[in-house]
Amino acid sequence: MERRTFILATGGLLGASGAGHAAPLAALATPGLATATALRAATFARLVNQSFNVYASQRGVAMQLVAVKQQPSGAGHEQFRLSFHGAGATLPSGTYTVEHAAIGQVPMYLEATGSDAQGASYRADFNLLV
């Protein structure tokens, strides 16, 4: 994935460029990728216990979102952590395309946090300008 696509999809440019430029930058977003407004803790909180497809290549791996934890945040920031659980082989930590019908496709860095007999656990940390 190109750096530009990642930044646009995750909202990094939207926060850095100022609200007056949000509409033109949103028009540059890649079709199928979620907008920055979809990447909020409240959005993910509604999706707890639902299945997500995580693509390491052309083949997707099913993972369940098991928790959304708000982190202390200052004014203009939102920090939260997503916890996923997936059955099967453990994926190495890295950036993957995470897909759900409610948010579309989101490039996300997943960090492997452990595994047990039922599968592997992962986390994704967000620090957003809002």
Give, in degrees to the nearest 5, the angle at Cα 13 between 10 and 17.
150
pLDDT at position 89: 77
For the entire predicted model, the pTM comes to 0.71
8 by Cβ neighbours in 10 Å (0-12 / 13-18 / 19+) ranks as buried
CB 130 within 8 A of CB 76: yes
Question: Cα separation of 108 and 95, whole Å?
Answer: 5
Mean pLDDT of 61-78: 92
Q: Is the model more confident about 45 or about 76?
A: 45
Mean pLDDT of 23-46: 64
